[in-house]
Structures are given as C-alpha cells and as structure tokens.
Structure 1
Amino acid sequence: MEKLEIVPAIIPKTPDKVLEVKYPGNVKVDNGNQLTVDQTSKPPTVEWEAKEDAFYTLLMIDPDAPSRSNPKKAEWQHWLIGNIPGKNVKAGDVIIDYNGPTPPKNSGLHRYIFLVYEQPTGKISFKEKKIPKDSSEGRANFSIKDFSSKYKLNTPIAGNVCQVERS
C-alpha cells in the first residue's frame, strides 16, 4: 500500500493481514492490480482471519474522486458494513450498499481500497445514514481517519487495493 501512496496519506500503516477480495468469475483483488469496471460491478466476496466472538467493520473507498489529480470528492464511499460477526459478512449491518467502481472517463486510474477493522467494543450503534446502491447522495467526502476515530476502530487489521480506469 505504500507504493500506491495509501500509507500514510489515508491510513497510518499497512494492515498486517491481506484481505482476500474476490469478484464473480474468480477475479481477485491483488495489491493494486488493475481491474475493469465490468469485473467489479457486482459485490465481491471477502475473507480475513476473524475471531468467532468479535465484530468487524468492512469498508471500500475511492480516494481519487473525481480524479487522483483533483480529489475534491475523496474519499468516495463504495461500501460499508458494520457489526459483522466473525467473518459472516452477510450477517453484518449494511450501512452503505455496494456500488462498484465507476471512475469518470479520462480521469485515470483510481485506487479502490478495502479495509477491515476489528470493533474493540463489540457491536456498535452506527449513526451514519444508510445509502442505497443506486444513490450517490452522502458518498462523497468520507474520511476513514474521522470514521475510525469516531468509533474507536484503531488501525485496520486487513486490507487490499485494486485500481480501475474507465476505458
């Protein structure tokens, strides 16, 4: 994540574990590999080393909205699920429905960062407004740093990143 300028600009340090992110068709996110809009249009499956009795928060953001040279809408929220018991993502509380990468034309490569945090205090009563899949309202100008501080999430335990460019 250092080579993609994610650490320390967006998160303080690289997570200790790799978050396994797999899109339909066995398309894997692999430390900055380049994928297409079509490959990433449907929600991926994600896996990490989880404690059965812990709760986790999963998020996906684009720090390059609308472009890496002009990130005035960064960090753009693509997905946020809290209170995931163990690694059962489907049982978590969806706060922001998955919305796949859709970088504007001619905006270059965008980094899509996936992070998992262990919730140190068990279940959390998240105050964020729920955002449906097809809505862009409320997705812009998110801050991982502010969010993790607000809910005392410390640093992510697992992460991964891919890059997507609209052709």
Structure 2
Amino acid sequence: MNLFSTRKPLRKLLESLNQIINRNKGISWYSSKVTESFSKHGVVPEIIPTAPKELLKVTFSSGASADGGNELTPTQVKDPPKINFQCDANQFHALCLTDPDSPSRGRPTFREWHHWLVGNIPGEDVSKGEVLSAYISPCPPRTSGKHRYIFLVYKQSKKLTFDEPRLGNTRSNNRECFSVKKFAEKYQLGNPIAGNLFIAEWDEYVEKIYEDLSKL
C-alpha cells in the first residue's frame, strides 16, 4: 500500500471539513450580530417578534453600507441599494425598508412609514421583483432626531398576488401607518430570513426630497 497515495484524499477531506467549520462560524457570527443589533435598537420586539438569522448585505452607490445600526446620512442613501443574501435562485422573496420612527421616535404617530416594498423577487435579484412601493430615500424631518431604517427580507412559499396600491417615488401618500408585521401575516410569510438597519437624521438632502414630493 502506498502511504502517500492515501494522504491526498485525507488532506482534501480535512480541508473540506475546515471550510465547513469556518463557514458555519461565519454564519453564527452574522446571526449573532443581527440578533444583537435588532435587540439593541428595539426592533425586536417593538416592530417584529423575532430577529432574522442572516445579516442582510445592503450596499449603496455612495459606497456606504448598512451595518447593524451604524449612522448614515440621507445623502449617502439617496439611491436604492444593492441587496445580497443567501438564497435559492428559484425561490421568491419580499423586501421591505421601513421607518418606525415617523415623524419622530418620541412621537411615532405615523409608524411605520415604509420607504420601499418589493415582492416576488426571484432569488436576490430585486430588479426583477414586483415593485409595490418604489424606493424613496430616508427623509427624517429637521429636529426630529435619529430614525431607525430597517431592511427585512421574507421568503415566499410561491409567487404571490399582492393587492397593495402601487406607489411611485413622486408621492408620499399611503406610506404612513404601515406595519411590516401585519404585511407578513397577511401573506403568510413567517419570520424574516434576513435583515439589517442603519440610523439617520436630517441633512440638507432631505429638503430636496420634500421638494420633489411636493411638486405634484
């Protein structure tokens, strides 16, 4: 028996096991991070009952990214971000970006004001999903303090027929008093599978958003 001939398969097996262990460590770390951030910022149980297991990757064209409650500016997040998460390319998903602190966290009378809602997303390709509410950049009012902006992804059991009004990005009507929890219950989506959030407060770009929304 050639001893060297048995070492290569054994080495490959050990390398594969190490890769699996390291990958699981990474998944565990991200799961822990999203759980901790959602608890720290009151997303659970204030907005949803259970934190997702995966930290959603959210990257903006400005180069900024959401990172479990980091602070970003409306200027940095003015364009729809790129979304990435682990999924089956043949599975449909729903995505929501919501602000539970409208008009302010101390007086959230419009909770929640949703900024983005997309259903029937094949895999993670948001561009091919069905836009229910087009993306409107976070626009916290002046002196309203810091707002939480929460991204959530849900797995759909099949392609769904949504009866929500289709909202463009030139009007603010029908955005307020939304509930992502009730939306998920309505379509039997279960708990979110991925999520993230960032914090933002007023900057000068907000005035441009308000100007655009008031043109019509």
- TM-score, normalisation: structure 1: 0.98
Aligned to 2:184, which of 135, 142, 148? 148
Superposition deviation, residue 29 in structure 1: 0.4
What secondary structure sits across from 2:45 in the alignment? coil
Name the CA distance, whole Å, in 2 between partners of 1:134 and 1:68: 25
Q: Tell me which residue corresponds to 1:135.
A: 171
Where does residue 106 of structure 1 map in the other structure?
143
Distance, in Å, in 1 between the alignment partners of 2:62 and 2:177 is: 32
The amino acid across from 2:101 in the alignment is: D
Q: Deviations over 1:36-58 (max 9, x none)?
A: 01001111111110112210000
Aligned equivalents of 1:128 and 1:52: distance in 2? 25
How many residues were matched structurally?
166
TM-score by length of 2: 0.76
CA distance in 1, matches of 2:57, 2:170: 25
Tell me if the contact between 2:98 and 2:115 (Cα under 8 Å) persists in the aligned partners: yes
* CA positional deviation for 1:25: 2.5
Gaps of 5+ in 2: 1-37, 204-216
Equivalent residue for 2:132, pick from 77, 85, 95: 95
Structure with larger RCO (C-alpha < 8 A, sep 6+): 1
**Higher strand fraction (1 or 2):** 1
User: Is 2:37 the partner of 1:37?
Assistant: no
Q: CA deviation at 1:87?
A: 1.1
Larger Rg: 2
The correspondence of residues 14-163 of structure 1 with structure 2, limited to 5 A, is 14-120=51-157, 122-163=158-199
Name the structure where helix makes up a greater proportion of residues.
Answer: 2
Tell me whether 1:10 sits opposite 2:47 in the alignment: yes
Q: Which residue of 1 aligns with 2:28?
A: none
- Flag structure 1 segments of 5+ consecutive residues without an equivalent: none
Residue type of the alignment partner of 2:192: P
User: C-alpha separation between the residues in 1 aligned to 2:62 and 2:69?
Assistant: 18
2:196 is paired with a residue whose SS is strand
The AA in structure 2 aligned to 1:76 is W
Q: Deviations over 1:83-132 (max 9, x none)?
A: 00111111100010000100000000000000000002x10100000000
